[in-house]
Amino acid sequence: MTVDLETKSRVDCLLTDSAMFIDRDELSAWLDCFEDDSRYVVIPRENRARDYPVALIHCDNKARLHDRVTCLRHANKFNPHFDRHILSTARILSLEDGVAAVESNFMIVQTTKTGESKLFCAGCYEDRINVTSPRARFRERIVVLDTFSIPTLLATPI
């Protein structure tokens, strides 16, 4: 659907900012992209297609999302790497009560600390975004992973 340029701009800004925060390893700033009452799920495409609830990362509230980042920072050991998100333009499906339903595609290239890059995953974001204030935030982000046979492991949020 077509929306006013201001709404489109708020959506685009959130999508690019949130990806950039991950790529820069600024996960606190990334957390600020979510509303206080929000949901973040990274789900294999096969589970999404078959309505299975189990995901890879399943945070039903922001506290759990915050905990995920805490664990990543303080407990988990994983393959040291850099991420680069490559995003598609966003498709706005609807706008109701200040919340836009938005779909966009992504690929992530992972690079090791010794400088080797490879395509890590591809998939699609299914977002519900609160666009009422100049700084839009996610109410819900469902990351549907086409690459659901995860190479090695998936630590950093997508």
Phi, psi of 63 (to 5 degrees): -60, -40
Q: Kindly identify the residues of this chain, within the stretch 30-49, that bind another protein according to CB under 8 A.
A: 42-44, 46-47
Closest separation in Å from C-beta 97 to another protein: 26
Residue 120, token pair as written in the block = 């890590």
Closest separation in Å from C-beta 62 to another protein: 8
* Residue that the structure tokens 């040291």 belong to: 80
Q: Does 154 bind another protein (CB under 8 A)?
A: yes
Whole-number Å distance between alpha carbons of 22 and 5: 26
Whole-number Å distance between alpha carbons of 102 and 10: 12
Which residues neighbour 131 within 8 Å (Cβ) at sequence distance 6 or greater?
7, 10, 11, 95, 98, 99, 100
Give the residue, chosen from 78, 112, 119, 132, that forms a contact with another protein under the rule CB under 8 A: 78
Q: Kindly identify the residues of this chain, within the stretch 54-73, that bind another protein according to CB under 8 A.
A: 54-61, 63-64, 66-68, 70-71
**Residue count, binding to another protein (CB under 8 A):** 36
Residues making contact with another protein (CB under 8 A): 42-44, 46-47, 52-61, 63-64, 66-68, 70-71, 74-79, 148-155
